[in-house]
Amino acid sequence: MVEMQEDIPDSSPPPPPPPSSPPAATPPLPPSSSLSAPQPAPPPDLPSLTTLISHLPSLPLLQPPLIRTWDPSTVLHGLHLSYLGSLSTLRTPRTRTTLYKTLLYLTLITLFLVATTHAVFLPLRITHWAAGTVVRPLLGSTLMGVLDWSVSTIDDLVGWFVRVTPEAGLYLVRYIWPDPLDKLFFEALRGLTLTLALPPTHARFVIHFARTLEHQDQPPPCTLARLPTLPLGRKSWTLRLLSYIQRYLKRLLLLGIVYLISLTPVLGAFIWPLATYAYLGGAIGYTTAAYTCAFAIVSPPWWAFVKGPLLRAIWSFRSLERELCEPYLCRSVMTQSQRRAWFAKNEALIAGFTFPFWYLISLPWIGPLVFGLAQGAASRLCVELFDEVDIRNGRHHPQTIARVQ
């Protein structure tokens, strides 16, 4: 039987080569048709995964700002823009009305978050109080010690999180329900189009971008069909939340690692100054950073500031820089690499704009109100940056021109 099978293939190859090619061509057809049937299902899944990964914006905290290369006049110009933007937001009637509504919304959200926090910890407080009243006399102090330790540990964790990211709750609300702050930003931008003298191309772009929310609600009329158009819609709620979580998990992870190392006996006393020195060295130069950290040896208050608060303050400041530009960045046609290059190029201007609002936003009750004003004023900052990003990008890239013109 084995020999017969060996003879058959030997004799058959000469005649079948012509037929063998059709069968070889025919088998791929059925599998291709069979593959084409299930193929509609993967495309919606694969693009969604790729977009989830590729569209996550990240401005890496490990790359310090190159402060030593900043032009002081650029920083002062950003500071002046914060004044002009705040003044325009408060003076324009429609923008002022939108600002009041946004401030009311942020105040109610803050009250809700505070009430929710107390409600979550209320059962633990009641249990702790009942344990001190009932458990200690009956079961002794052992169980009471465990309860005291659990309560103090939770308080320490919550306090550490608030110190590390005091604005985390505010940004979380901003990503979950961005409509009020978006309306404030675009209403302020529309008011600027009536008062600023801009070049024709720049003015056409700004006017159209200021009507983004209108174009989301209804398609633009035929007369505006040839105006510049961007991907006007925000990213999905999932992408917004994932990008937010990604940025803050990196921040918490880095600070958590440094904090755990700081608990070690010998190295722990120097880990925060070393981390601060390494980060400042990339920002202002290692010689200047060495003098900055060395001054802490003779100044106990400065030593306490270098041991953690300084590094956390820098990261908090850079996070606010990015969040104030969020209404523009989430609708920009830039890729992730272009966005990083744009941020590095314009960070001096953005830092000067952010500085007046940074400390006030970290305050418990004033923070949400200042953040609303800063978001409206950020429209004046973005007007300075529009021409350097999307308009120029659309001129140089044909695929973007098709979307922009």
Q: Is residue 112 part of a domain?
A: yes
- pLDDT at position 42, please? 42
- pLDDT at position 37, please? 40
Contacts of residues 212-217 at CB distance under 8 Å and 24 or more positions apart, as own/partner, are 212/186, 212/331, 213/182, 213/183, 213/186
Global confidence as pTM: 0.67
What is the band of 392 on the pLDDT scale with cuts at 50, 70, 90?
Answer: low
Candidate ranges 1-10, 77-86, 267-276, 285-294; pick with highest mean pLDDT: 77-86
* Mean pLDDT lowest among 49-53, 92-96, 183-187: 49-53
10 Å Cβ neighbour count for 309? 14
Give the length of the chain: 405
Q: Is residue 42 part of a domain?
A: no
Candidate ranges 96-100, 250-254, 269-273; pick with highest mean pLDDT: 96-100
Q: Is residue 45 part of a domain?
A: no
How far is Cα 259 from Cα 266, in angstroms, rounded to an integer? Answer: 14
- pLDDT at position 181, please? 87
- pLDDT at position 137, please? 65
How far is Cα 215 from Cα 201, in angstroms, rounded to an integer? Answer: 20
Residue 384 has pLDDT above 60, yes or no: yes
Provide mean pLDDT across the span 146-166. 65
What is the token pair recorded at 309?
A: 């608060």
Residue 56 has pLDDT above 50, yes or no: no
Provide mean pLDDT across the span 71-87. 92
Q: How far is CA 7 from CA 3, 172, 233, 280, in A?
A: 6, 75, 69, 80
Q: Is residue 382 part of a domain?
A: yes
More confident residue, 100 or 229: 100
How far is Cα 28 from Cα 26, in angstroms, rounded to an integer? Answer: 6
Q: What is the pLDDT of residues 319-345, one digit of tens each?
A: 888 889 888 888 887 788 888 888 888
User: What burial letters (b/e) apply to 73-107, b meaning 16+ CB within 10 Å?
Assistant: ebbeebbebbebbbebbeebeebbebbeebbebbe
Q: Is residue 30 part of a domain?
A: no
Total tally of structural domains belonging to the chain:
1
Q: Is residue 33 part of a domain?
A: no
Q: Is residue 20 part of a domain?
A: no
- pLDDT at position 86, please? 93
Residue 185: give the domain boundaries: 60-217+232-404
More confident residue, 158 or 109: 109
Average pLDDT of the chain to the nearest whole number: 71
Q: Is residue 343 part of a domain?
A: yes
